[in-house]
Amino acid sequence: MKKKLKVLAFIPARGGSKGIPGKNIKFLAGIPLISHTIKAAFDCGCADKVVVSTDDEKIKKISQEFGAAVIDRPAHLAQDSSPTEPAILHALSELKKKQSYIPDVVILLQPTSPLRTGENIKEAFIKFVKTGADSLLSVSKNHIFLWKEKGNFAFPINYDFLHRPRRQEMNQYAENGAIYITKRMIYEKLSCRLGGKVAIYEMSQESSIEIDSIFDFKICEEMFSSSLHNNSLISVANKIKMVLTDVDGVLTDGGMYYGKDGEAFKKFSTLDGMGISMLMKEGFVVGIITGENSPSVAKRAEKLNIKELYSGVKDKSVVLEKLLHKYKLKKEQVAYIGDDINDLGIMSCVGMPCCPSSAQLDVKKNAKFITNAKGGEGAFRELSNLLISAKYK
């Protein structure tokens, strides 16, 4: 029987960033940038320990909130010119000294690759083990003709212009910086993330986007909005037949508005209303489950022709069980979108728990999909767009 490998997921995250100040904690799709990598590290199921190495207290706090262990990085290893390998060796030394933990393999995950998923890491790790490699790096197909200038003239690096190849025939890859998997002994012998027998794991160009500028951030926001880069999420979304939603903080902005005579109002988004109509037209069952008894919610449900309205609910999972029985569905065929801690119970019972970007942190930790939009500003429409796209993918 083979010994089970001890696998460390290592995430380096300095506080200093010249290009984008505070880059690692800048919000992307509702959560800090580094949180996407921490979630992916846990989702992959390969690592028995997830560690963030940082010199920054804010990064430390956020990392711990998302479940990662933190190693305080010394200042001399956190300079602009500091390479990553010394920080990894420092972490290995600290883990051995303080926890008697000695991993067989280190998975290096840069926080600047937020579109890399847990499924990507899992697939890369499986290839690393199956091939018997000493190290592995993630790559994407590259069809670029490279040139280098020398003096007044230039010469090609990777092709012969007298025998110009067709781009699709160029069997070459670009290192994308998203995943490095390395045996511990390679770090100890070479102080390098690559060495020995090197394997590659190919990722799509979409998933390979690395954040170095505000422009990259904008691209990633658009990618997260569609989530079509995330095959594992699309696979989950493709199973959904029923969509359930909370009201306050999801279909509304969570605020209460009062008229001159003290009557209470809620503001609903027409974008969300259209999203609900689109889902029902596509054959999805749509329902509302709320803890409140509100006449305005009843009127909104009636206008949108929502038959499954449950108000004044204390235990939403009880309603879920009733609906599963009524429509003969399984839990993995249900999506639920909520924003607060009273939604956590039902979120743990459905196949696709979701939340708006304005949701509470504990809710975001447990969501498989976080919308770019805030509650009451088109969050439900964003979810509906994803589900309909996934249906036809």
Average pLDDT rounded to a whole number, residues 345-350:
97
C-alpha to C-alpha distance for 222 and 15, rounded to whole angstroms? 26
**60-69, 73-82, 224-233, range with greatest mean pLDDT:** 60-69
Dump pLDDT digits (tens) for 85-143: 999 999 999 999 999 999 999 999 999 999 999 999 999 999 999 999 999 999 999 88
The model's confidence at residue 256, banded by pLDDT at 50, 70 and 90, is confident
The model's confidence at residue 375, banded by pLDDT at 50, 70 and 90, is very high
The three-state secondary structure class of 181 is strand
Range with lowest mean pLDDT among 16-30, 132-146, 330-344, 364-378: 16-30
Q: How many helices (H) and strands (E) does the chain have?
A: 13, 19
C-alpha to C-alpha distance for 390 and 388, rounded to whole angstroms? 5
- How high is the mean pLDDT of the chain? 93
| Residue 223 pLDDT | 84
CA 57 to chain centre: 22
The model's confidence at residue 232, banded by pLDDT at 50, 70 and 90, is confident
The three-state secondary structure class of 366 is coil
H/E run at residue 379? helix 379-391
pTM: 0.84
Full set of structural domains in the chain with CATH: 7-214 (3.90.550.10), 233-391 (3.40.50.1000)
Average pLDDT rounded to a whole number, residues 265-284:
94
Is the CB of residue 377 less than 8 Å from the CB of residue 253? yes
Q: What is the DSSP string of 22-83?
A: TGGGSEETTEEHHHHHHHHHHHTS--SEEEEEES-HHHHHHHHHTT-EEEEPPGGGSSTT--
| Residue 96 pLDDT | 97
The model's confidence at residue 263, banded by pLDDT at 50, 70 and 90, is low
Nearest to 86 by CA among 195, 17, 2, 10: 10
Dump pLDDT digits (tens) for 156-211: 998 888 988 887 777 889 999 999 999 999 999 999 999 999 999 999 988 999 99
DSSP 214: H
Dump pLDDT digits (tens) for 36-57: 999 999 999 999 999 999 999 9
